[in-house]
Each structure stands twice: as C-alpha cells, then as structure tokens.
Structure 1
Amino acid sequence: MKVLITGCNGQVGHCLVKQLEGKAEVLAVDKAQLDITDQAAVYAIVADFEPQYIINAAAHTAVDKAEEEVELSFAINSDGPKYLAEVAENCGAVMLHISTDYVFNGMGNEPYQEIDPVGPQGVYGKSKLAGELAVIDACEKHLILRTAWVFGEHGNNFVKTMLRLAQTRDELSIVGDQIGGPTYAGDIAAALIKMLESIEAGAKPAWGVYHYSGMPYASWYEFAQTIFDKALSKGVIEHSPCLHSIPTSAYPTPAKRPSNSRLNCNKIAIQFNVTPSDWVYALNNIEAYK
C-alpha cells in the first residue's frame, strides 16, 4: 500500500503518519515539501511516488482569519484538493479528503446527514464546500470525510487552550448554546485507515461523502467541564476554574459559528463498521495534551 499524506504536521495528519507506520509505504508532506496550491508541484510529486491512496489532511482552518484571507482559503481548501483529485484520477488512486460541518448552515437541532442541503455561512465553510465539489467532480474514486471539533495531543486545539487558561484564570466564560461532537484526531486517522484497509481487502465502497465525529454531543461549556474534570482527577491541573455558560451573542467573532454542529454518523458505521469517536475516553490521556 502506497499512501501520500498531505498536511502531515496537522492534528489528523500527524496521527495518520504514526498509525500507518509499518502498515504502508508512506510519503508524508507538509507545506514545506509540497504546496498543494501549486498544480505543477502536485503533479510532479504524485508522478514520482505513484501512490495508490492520497489522503488530503491539509487545510486552511483559521475560521476567523478566513474572513479576511479569502483568496488563501479558497486556494488551500478548494484549489489544492482539486489538483490532488485530478492527479488521483489520472493515476487511478483513491482520494480521501477531510472536510467539515461548516458546509451546513449550522441551524436546527437534528444531526446532519450526508444528503442534507448545504449552506455555509462563512468563507471557511464556503471554501471547504468548494473543495468537496472539486474532489467529487475530478475523481471518481473519492471518499470525503466531514468531521467537527477536532482535538488531539499534537497541534493547537480547544483542549490545550482550556488547560493553558486553567493555569492563570479562576473563572472562564464558555459558550453553551453551540452543540457538536468533539472528535479525537487519532480516531479520525483510524477511521480513514479503516476505510483504506477495507478497499485494500477488496470491498467496493459507495464513493462519496461520509460523516464522522464524536459522541455524545455536547456544548463547548460541557466539553470544557469534562476537560477540567479529567485534568483535575489526573493531577494535570491543581484547581478547576469556575465556569460560566454564555450565549454565542456574548462572544462575537468575525466568522459566524454554527449553533448546530451535530453530525449523523450512521452511514460510515454501515459501510465501514466505523463507530463514532469516544471523546470522553480520549481525554483519559489528558496528561499528553499539556
């Protein structure tokens, strides 16, 4: 199995490299080795390596900055995936691409299914949707994995931010009316690898879009509560800040945040036997997040 991984220094990319060690011949690249917005460079590296699978874990994920960095967001989140998908099609490779719940409008209370209408509210979501459509259009053998609220031991994320703030703050106000499924990066990597191994074993999957995120659903406030409870029990922090639940309106940001980030993960469970990420269990290893 020959696998090209882009964005190898991101949260999911880092886990993919670790988990594929000994299982596949991997070419792991970050922006320094491959700028996915450079079409010629993408074509050259794929022609040289000849991967059977391309996993695109590279993305412009700075949601607020995206409102100003529109061209950069679309270059990384749309043009890059397009070039990777085109070259995957040319060489007969399978294209696996990571996307986001931000392709939806973030309203309602029901978990989003893959067939639900999209309606991104900001530049980040619009650029990621454009990337999805580009991959679908360019490569027949594609698997797009939408996920949400990613965290892990590597890189910057909500868990690390909370642990850092606990060192200096006695009180914290956390948004309580945005609901989603926190998703452990290691579980996303494992889900992608399971999809890949299923194809290697001869399965003929339904190409298209799949949802994968954590359970149970929680608010950012509830997520923070669990983080501090775990950290306190493990001795990672000496005291837990007093938490206050606030509405989104009390914490304005340049980009609109979805109130509903719930993803329905039934399709991936049926097709690939992949179960939702157990984010509470993943926090048992909270010592590694410091």
Structure 2
Amino acid sequence: MKIMVTGAGGFVGSRLVAYYGKKYDVWGVTHKDLDLTDEAAVFKTVEKYRPDVLLHCAAVSDVAECSKKPELSHAVNVLGTEYLAKACGKTGAKLVMCSSDQVYFRKRGEQESLDAYLEPHWEDCIETPEPLYGKQKLQGEELCLKYQPESVVIRLSWMYDSLTEDELAKGRRNLATMLLEMLDQKQSRKFSDTDHRGVTDVTLVVKNMEAAWKLPGGIYNYGSSNDTNMYETVRRVMASFGQEALAEKATGGNVRNLMMRTDKLARHGIFFPDTAAGLEAFLRKGGVL
C-alpha cells in the first residue's frame, strides 16, 4: 500500500510518516519536494507516485500568519487543496484532508443566549467562521468533496505531544508541555475562562488515522471532546494530581466556542478520550507520578 503525506515536516505530518512508514510504502512530501500552488506539478506528482491514500496535512496553519499573508495562505490552503483533490479524483486515491476546529470560530449572535452559543458543534452545522484560516479551511473542505467525493475531511482540534529537539529549538510549545512545567516546578499559570475547545493527544490522532482513511467520504470531527472552558479543563487535570491550586483563572475577553461533538466518529468505531482525561493520561505516562 502506498501512502503520500503532504506537510511531512509539520507536527502531524512528521508523526504520520514515522508511524506508518514502519508498515507501508510512505512518501513524506515537504514544500521543498512539491509546490502545492503549482497545479501542473501537483498533478504530475500524484500521477507518478499513484498513492492509494493521500494524507493532506500541509497548510499555512498559523492563524495570524494566514491573515498577514492572505494571497499565500489562499494559494496553499485553498488552491493547493483543490489541485490535490482533482488529482486524487483522477487517480482514484483516497484523500484525507486535515481541516480544523477553526471552521467553528464565529461570533456570538446579538440575540443568542450563552447556553445556545456554547453548544458543541456537529459536522452538519452551517458555519460562518470569523478567522481567515477557518474560512479557507471550509473552502478546502468543499473542494475536496466536490472533486473527490470519497474524501475524508477530519476537523482537528489543538493537539499536544512530547516535543522533538527540532521543535523545541523552534520554540514550539503546547498545552501538555505547559502542564508538565507547572507540575514539575509547582508553578501556577492562568488559563482563560472564555475559551472553550477540545485538545487532543496527537499520538491518538496518528494511530487512528488508518481507521480514518477507511471511513466513508464526508466530514468528521476528529479528536477529543470537551464540555467546558480551558480554565476548568486545566483545573480538573491539576486536581487529579492534587495540584488544583496551580490553575488560575484569567477573566475577560470574548467567549469563543470551538467544542466539537464526536458522536459521528464514534458510530464508526473511532474513539478519543475527553480532553481532561486525555491530558491526565498523557501526563502520567510522561513520568510525572
């Protein structure tokens, strides 16, 4: 079986290449190998390699960078995705597009109650994302399903893992590394009581990918669910280590809801622990206790 992974130098792509390279013929593609904004090059590459599955992880994924460079991010996130979808439609490759929970980031309506606004999102919600990145991801989703109807679109949450030396050198951090520091140093930190979202162990994202590419074409919320804000989430995790006081509340700011319902994924036999349980399990494996 042949698998092509775009964005192979990134957080998710690099881990997919390492994990599935032990089992399948995997080609990890970086921007140095393929310019996704070059339609002819994309077609030529996919037709030549003829992957059975194409895992599309490449993106201009930094929300701020996306807005600063709208032409570049559109070319990569929208047009590049369109070219890959067309190529997969032509060759018959199963396309898995890594989308984002940012498609759910919208402002609360003027007449909308807080409870209604904070309902976790289903895949079939009609979305009107505020950030440009969310808008571009939504466009990419539509193009995947238009040109390769068997595409599997997975909406990913914020993710965490132990970081490689290269990632540390680049200043990368994630929620799990922050919590490890808090526990190791008994150092408190403030977390927002207005930000509601799931956070997922990337190792589980990777291990479940084989089941994901076998799913029927469509859109799937893919990751850990959550039912509360980041302050309450971290407080739950810290409480399991007897360090609840390390989580402090940062108040203020607009309410944001990126929480996802994962019932659809579960009906197909793919499960993720909820955010707090997943973080606790990860931290315990990391040798905290």
Does the alignment reach a TM-score above 0.5?
yes
SS of residue in 1 equivalent to 2:286: helix
Letter in 1 for 2:74: F
Q: Does 1:181 align with 2:198?
A: yes
Alpha-carbon distance in 2 for matches of 1:75, 1:191: 29
Paired residues of 1:39 and 1:83 also in contact (CA < 8 A)? yes
Q: Does 1:128 align with 2:125?
A: no
SS of residue in 2 equivalent to 1:214: coil
Letter in 2 for 1:283: L
What is the Cα deviation at residue 14 of structure 1?
2.0
Alpha-carbon distance in 2 for matches of 1:285, 1:150: 17
Paired residues of 1:181 and 1:216 also in contact (CA < 8 A)? yes
What is the Cα deviation at residue 134 of structure 1?
1.5
Letter in 2 for 1:72: L
RMSD value, Cα: 2.8
Superposed counterparts of 1:57-68, under 5 Å: 57-68=57-68
Alpha-carbon distance in 2 for matches of 1:169, 1:31: 41
Bigger Cα displacement from structure 2, 181-190 vs 31-40:
31-40
2:160 pairs, out of 148, 151, 154, with: 151
Sort the Cα spacing of 1:166 and 1:67 in 2 relative to 1 into closer, same or farther, 3 A.
farther
Bigger Cα displacement from structure 2, 139-148 vs 39-48:
39-48
Give the structure, 1 or 2, with the largest relative contact order (CA under 8 Å, sep 6 or more): 1
Number of residue pairs matched by the alignment? 267
The match for 1:115 is: 124
Deviation digits for residues 143-163 of structure 1 (CA, Å, limit 9, x no counterpart): 000021212224433333555
Deviation digits for residues 69-98 of structure 1 (CA, Å, limit 9, x no counterpart): 211221221111111111001111111001
Bigger Cα displacement from structure 2, 23-32 vs 105-114:
105-114
Deviation digits for residues 171-194 of structure 1 (CA, Å, limit 9, x no counterpart): 533212211211111111222211
Superposed counterparts of 1:243-258, under 5 Å: 243-249=247-253
Alpha-carbon distance in 2 for matches of 1:227, 1:177: 18
Letter in 1 for 2:209: L
Sort the Cα spacing of 1:269 and 1:64 in 2 relative to 1 into closer, same or farther, 3 A.
same
Alpha-carbon distance in 1 for matches of 2:49, 2:259: 38
What is the Cα deviation at residue 2 of structure 1?
0.7
Deviation digits for residues 191-223 of structure 1 (CA, Å, limit 9, x no counterpart): 221123xx3xxxxx4311011121444432245
1:264 pairs, out of 241, 261, 264, with: 261
Alpha-carbon distance in 1 for matches of 2:89, 2:104: 27
Deviation digits for residues 3-62 of structure 1 (CA, Å, limit 9, x no counterpart): 100111222212211221332111111222222222222222212211011100112121
